[in-house]
Amino acid sequence: MLYSSAASWLTLTIVSTAIATLPAIDTEKLSVSRRWLLGDDKIRGVNLGSLFIVEEWFAKDEWASMGCKGFYDEWSCVESLGQEAADAAFEGHWKSWITEDDIAQIASYGLNTIRIPVGFWIKEDLVQSDEYYPRGGLKYLDHVVGWAGDAGLYVIIDLHGGPGSQSPNEEFTGHSTANPGFFTVANYERANQFLEWMTERIHTNDAYRTVGMIEVINEPIKRRVNATDADDMLKNFYPAAWNRIRDRESELGIAKEDMLHILYMGSNWGSGHPETYLNDTTYLYFDDHVYWKFDTRSGKNKTSYINATCSLYRPESNVVVGEFSLSVASDLQNTDEFGIQGHPENVAWYTDYFAAQVSIYEKSGGWIFWNWKCNWINQFNDWRWCYKTAVEAGAIPKNASKAASLSPC
């Protein structure tokens, strides 16, 4: 989850059959290895952020209730509490943050997809003795993907936190550090072990029957931050990750039409062109994270925000916008024009803002809102980041499939 950098504009290349031409899938006959949306032509989804990687900034009360108040990331909380106490605290969180009722509610809102951010440490044998991460999350991941399968939701598993951390000073990596250590042979290998293990789990465990896409790494370091690391990842990690996923599928005898779709942050993220060193691009996808909050082109008023949304984003064929929100620039969010506390008159504009965004993203492959739920942002429950409470506030319509038709674009 991006919280501190500018919006990026990415291009998705699909060399497989276009989404819109795929036939509907009979959910009663769904194979464990069937790999695409259940009859829909666009991804319309939500992220389940702060489930397996808690980000304190939008889960403040939850984080405090776990005994983690004052700590910035999972690593520091686990280190402070001690392993056994931390495992118990995180287990309580996993049991309650996302429930089967949440999954049913997501489906009831006309959404068809969930993206699940996970850390590499959910495969516990990859964790080294000098690292501090909670243990026991895998069975809860199994529960969530099983509920999603029952509800007919498509699932994207996202490697959100890589070994050594892939971006500086970010909660979402699980271990905030000024000097990310992901960009080494050893940590690439640990990430690849995670990816091939998850690939096998998806293909062989019935709970994962509607998992169709795997994201190799979320928001890695950008070239402008460290060109050496970004270029090394491009040349050495990206093709190896692809090969490890495909090789494991080959070993399992997976038919081509049932292979996982593989998702990379695209070139406009700023780390280079992921496909540069790939020998194959079958079912290759690119992720885009669009946060107008951080883009100065959005201007300073409601009209400029809508105009920017409608005219400045240029999606090409089947981009998946894996993260976006309703938030606006920090200096605007509590003004009379944009505020949501004590300003019920602004709710209708946020509906327009949401509809404008999704109408543009649906010109490509679709969208996944950040986040499904939140807990105490900006000293109140700021629904601009929280799909569930935005629906309750009347800012997001209850039927996601109809939202684009409301667009002011």
- Whether residue 249 is contained in a domain is answered as yes
Instruction: Assess whether 323 carries a catalytic annotation.
Output: yes
Instruction: Tell me the torsion sign for CA atoms 272, 45, 196, 175.
Output: positive
- Whether residue 356 is contained in a domain is answered as yes
Please tell me the distance from the alpha carbon of residue 229 to that of residue 214, in angstroms, as a whole number.
22
Instruction: Return the pLDDT at 37.
Output: 64
- The closest alpha carbon to 254, from 33, 57, 68, 63, belongs to 33
Q: How many structural domains does the chain have?
A: 1
Instruction: Return the pLDDT at 314.
Output: 81
Question: Cβ contacts of residue 250 below 8 Å, gap of 6+?
Answer: none
- The closest alpha carbon to 356, from 296, 311, 306, belongs to 306
Please tell me the distance from the alpha carbon of residue 264 to that of residue 238, in angstroms, as a whole number.
9
| Cα 244 from chain centroid (whole Å) | 22
Strand-pair partners of 290:
324
Cα separations in angstroms, 358 against 144, 315, 351, 408: 25, 12, 11, 11
Please tell me the distance from the alpha carbon of residue 243 to that of residue 160, in angstroms, as a whole number.
20
Instruction: Return the pLDDT at 378.
Output: 73
- The closest alpha carbon to 170, from 30, 274, 75, belongs to 75
Please tell me the distance from the alpha carbon of residue 374 to that of residue 219, in angstroms, as a whole number.
21
Residue with tokens 């009209």: 303
- The low-confidence residues of the chain, meaning pLDDT below 70, are 1-40, 317-318
Instruction: Assess whether 219 carries a catalytic annotation.
Output: yes
Active-site position among 56, 62, 275, 323: 323
Instruction: Return the pLDDT at 188.
Output: 98
Instruction: Return the pLDDT at 8.
Output: 32
Instruction: Return the pLDDT at 52.
Output: 98
Instruction: Return the pLDDT at 28.
Output: 36
Q: Are 74 and 340 in contact (CB under 8 A)?
A: no
Instruction: Return the pLDDT at 206.
Output: 95
- Whether residue 134 is contained in a domain is answered as yes
- Whether residue 6 is contained in a domain is answered as no
- Whether residue 251 is contained in a domain is answered as yes
- Whether residue 9 is contained in a domain is answered as no
CATH number at residue 344: 3.20.20.80
pLDDT in tens, 279-334: 999 999 899 999 999 999 999 999 999 999 999 988 776 689 999 999 999 999 99
Burial class (CB in 10 A: 0-12, 13-18, 19+), 229: buried
Q: Are 358 and 310 in contact (CB under 8 A)?
A: no
Instruction: Return the pLDDT at 377.
Output: 84
- Whether residue 340 is contained in a domain is answered as yes
Amino acid identity, position 339: G
- Whether residue 75 is contained in a domain is answered as no
Active-site position among 171, 196, 219, 275: 219
Q: What is the dihedral of CA 215, 4, 320, 154, to 10 degrees?
A: 60
The three-point CA angle 293-59-339 to 5° equals 40
- Domain range for 267: 19-52+99-406
Token pair for 349 = 């504009």
Model confidence pTM above 0.75: yes
Query: For 122-148, what is the HEC assignment?
Result: HCHHHCCCCCCCCCCCHHHHHHHHHHH
Please tell me the distance from the alpha carbon of residue 298 to that of residue 275, in angstroms, as a whole number.
30
Instruction: Return the pLDDT at 242.
Output: 98
Residue with tokens 């243990």: 135
